Structure 1
Amino acid sequence: MPSSITWRLLLLAGLCCLVSGSLYTSSHDEQPPPLHSLGRKLSNFAFSLYRVLAAQSNTTNILFPALSIATTIVLISLGAKGDTHTQILQTLDFNCKDTFEIYIGLPHFVNRLHQPRQSLLMSTDNILVIDKNLKKVGTFLVDARELFHPEVLPNAQKTTGRKLVDLINDLDKNTALALVNYIFFHGKGRDDCDAGRSIKGDFQVDENATITVPMVKRIGDFFLHWTFELSSFVLLQRYTGSLFTFLIWEKGSERKHFQCSETPLFSNLRDSSANIHVLQLSLSGTYHLKTILGKLGITKVFSLEADLSGITEEVPLTVSKVSLSPSQPGPQGA
């Protein structure tokens, strides 16, 4: 494999949480029926997000937690009505009439992430901030608490430090409701390779910028696969337990776009002997999801036509801003 330091990091996403059955150790018969297709639908949503992000730039690195985005918009859908509600569920490929899969299956799926695992820390939670003067209606708060168990701020601070406090302090004074979702992951790799040695190497930030960063050079057996569809290498990083992430290295300047039907190519990953350079740096960025989700079909919730009467009928509510700020410092992310 050519040295990774000369390639752009095309995609770094924790799709481990989105692969059907990856979190389950029970037999097929014991698995709740809604979860059979849930992983596939969330994976398809992740690749849809990727295609939109990749189309915005051929030269930048891409980092996003698809499960976090999906959970947030599903929470919003609890208070949405009419076409606003329908758009959200259809974008995620869920049945608008039979919501058992999304409102029971997804919380169950997320709750599995909280189960303790050896040498693995993963936490995903939601913070709901509501103006105390907002006249609430319906069962939005009850449903949100029952299904997704939003945390109180002091508990969330133990995991995220001051990140959430700073975010909430920056809210506009006219904000009636704010919903924050976070995923924190710290895992121990279990690939069969030596401890590696530290080196310095070049990392291509974008088309015009290259920086020198510390790396660990490792030689061993990895789940590595060359895909002709993407003209890229796919490297699967396994962690202790049943979780994994994967990275795609793009060769050349042309970024190829793949459809959901092409995702089985990742099932061809096999152990291969390789010499890889693992980056030791922090990647972060901010996406404004209004435009991105709009291209996927979620538009009404951001417009004056938004129907969020399941939350309040006192004033017309719209989602004015949705931002995503992912980071990936080494083997952990928040």
Structure 2
Amino acid sequence: MGPVWLWLLAIYCQPFPAHGDKSLGVPQPHNHQLLEPAPAYHKVTPTITSFALRLYKQLAEGAPGNILFSPVSLSSMLALLALGAHADTPTQILKGLGFNLTETPAADIHQGFRSLLHTLGLPSPKLELKVGHSLFLDQLLKPQQHFLDSAKELYGALAFSANFTDAAATGRQINDLVKRQTYGRVEDCLPRLSHDTLMVLLNYIFFKAKWKHPFDRYQTRKQESFFVDQRTSLQVPMMQQREMHRFLYDQEASCMVLQIEYSGTALLLLVLPDPGKMRQVEATLQPEMLRRWGQRFLPRWVPTH
């Protein structure tokens, strides 16, 4: 049976360290930098990481199979929703994401998301990343202007008036927006809307980057008998290369971890469990494990495919 991979895409907001540096993604400050305040997104990124791993484990238990989600998208959309909620609902939402409101007040959380989304959206000559939010509100709704202003200022979310009684027209309006923002790559993303819908919270992502060590297209070959389940096998094209990558074997978690860098400030982590150890790897996934991997990575020649 073909290997089962876990993969994590990380977009770092700071330059990569040198391979000899024991920290991952965080350059060592010079003496004159020690007193500079940390970026506001530092107040939310650890919680987003913990939220991502908790959510993955829950999804893996309930629906085995392929799982794809964006922790930044989900957490920022829920935090945005908390801006317009009343009573104790905002507190419940932020606590559900994993925030300790005694240590990090709600205002700091929203500013942290603002800093994170702004930093991710900074232009780069080597990669393109767009993370966007929009709200489609039924014409019958009268949202407070303060909420609309805060949503735009903190999350870059634009609000659009929509007629949900004409579900088909509103669906086309939403799909057209996503298609434009993703350069036509994502079409018809929204399923059919029901007539009792009053609001749609929309998030979209566009990511485009080149590998730091590109694969040679002439080395792409048909893989014999790639098994997608116990009985079904396919022949699929597989990219191949032998290149210097950062790699480790985690004996405690029974898995191999491969880091592949993109040009710019993005990287891909591929986690290959030992045969029959998928559940063990999932059970041990913790933020501390990711930090430990970052300290143990060593560059070595690795054949990848």
CA distance in structure 1 between the aligned counterparts of 2:82 and 2:70, rounded to whole angstroms: 19
1:15 alignment partner in structure 2:
10
5 Å-filtered alignment, 1:172-321, equals 172-191=194-213, 197-201=219-223, 202-254=225-277, 255-256=279-280, 257-260=283-286, 261-267=288-294, 268-277=296-305
5 Å-filtered alignment, 1:16-55, equals 16=11, 22=25, 27=33, 29-32=35-38, 34-55=40-61
CA distance in structure 1 between the aligned counterparts of 2:115 and 2:24, rounded to whole angstroms: 13
Could you give the per-residue CA deviations for residues 57-83 of structure 1, whole angstroms, max 9, x where no partner exists?
56x233221111111111111112333
Q: 1:66 aligns with which of 60, 63, 71?
A: 71
CA distance in structure 2 between the aligned counterparts of 1:141 and 1:23, rounded to whole angstroms: 35
Higher relative contact order (CA 8 A, sep 6+): 1
Q: 2:81 aligns with which of 70, 76, 87?
A: 76
5 Å-filtered alignment, 1:108-127, equals 108-127=115-134
Question: Does structure 2 retain, via aligned residues, the 8 Å contact 1:121–1:187?
Answer: yes
3-state SS of 1:252 partner: coil
Q: Which runs of 5+ in 1 are unaligned?
A: 278-334
Q: What is the letter of the counterpart of residue 72 of structure 2?
A: L
1:159 to partner: Cα distance: 2.7
Question: Does structure 1 retain, via aligned residues, the 8 Å contact 2:10–2:267?
Answer: yes
3-state SS of 1:171 partner: coil
3-state SS of 1:15 partner: strand
Q: Which runs of 5+ in 2 are unaligned?
A: 15-22, 161-173
Under a length normalisation based on structure 2, what TM-score does the superposition of the two structures give?
0.76
Could you give the per-residue CA deviations for residues 83-136 of structure 1, whole angstroms, max 9, x where no partner exists?
322222112232436123211111111111111112211111012110011132
2:2 alignment partner in structure 1:
6
Residues 131 and 192 (structure 1), Cα distance of their counterparts in 2 relative to 1, 3 Å cut: closer
Q: What is the letter of the counterpart of residue 292 of structure 2?
A: L
The share of aligned pairs that are identical, in percent, is 26
Could you give the per-residue CA deviations for residues 250-289 of structure 1, whole angstroms, max 9, x where no partner exists?
2213321114233323212221211111xxxxxxxxxxxx
CA distance in structure 2 between the aligned counterparts of 1:108 and 1:23, rounded to whole angstroms: 17
CA distance in structure 1 between the aligned counterparts of 2:186 and 2:136, rounded to whole angstroms: 11
3-state SS of 1:221 partner: strand
Residues 8 and 35 (structure 1), Cα distance of their counterparts in 2 relative to 1, 3 Å cut: same
Larger radius of gyration: 2
CA distance in structure 1 between the aligned counterparts of 2:207 and 2:197, rounded to whole angstroms: 29
1:96 equivalenced with 2:101 (yes/no): yes
Q: What is the letter of the counterpart of residue 199 of structure 1?
A: R
1:174 to partner: Cα distance: 1.2
Computed over aligned residues only, the root mean square deviation of the Cα atoms, in angstroms, reads 3.2
Question: Does structure 2 retain, via aligned residues, the 8 Å contact 1:204–1:210?
Answer: yes
Residues 103 and 208 (structure 1), Cα distance of their counterparts in 2 relative to 1, 3 Å cut: farther
Residues 196 and 264 (structure 1), Cα distance of their counterparts in 2 relative to 1, 3 Å cut: farther
Q: What is the letter of the counterpart of residue 246 of structure 1?
A: L
Could you give the per-residue CA deviations for residues 20-68 of structure 1, whole angstroms, max 9, x where no partner exists?
994999956445453334222211111112211222356x233221111
Under a length normalisation based on structure 1, what TM-score does the superposition of the two structures give?
0.70
1:132 equivalenced with 2:139 (yes/no): yes
3-state SS of 1:49 partner: helix
1:87 equivalenced with 2:87 (yes/no): no
Stretch of structure 1 that moved more, 237-246 or 34-43 = 34-43
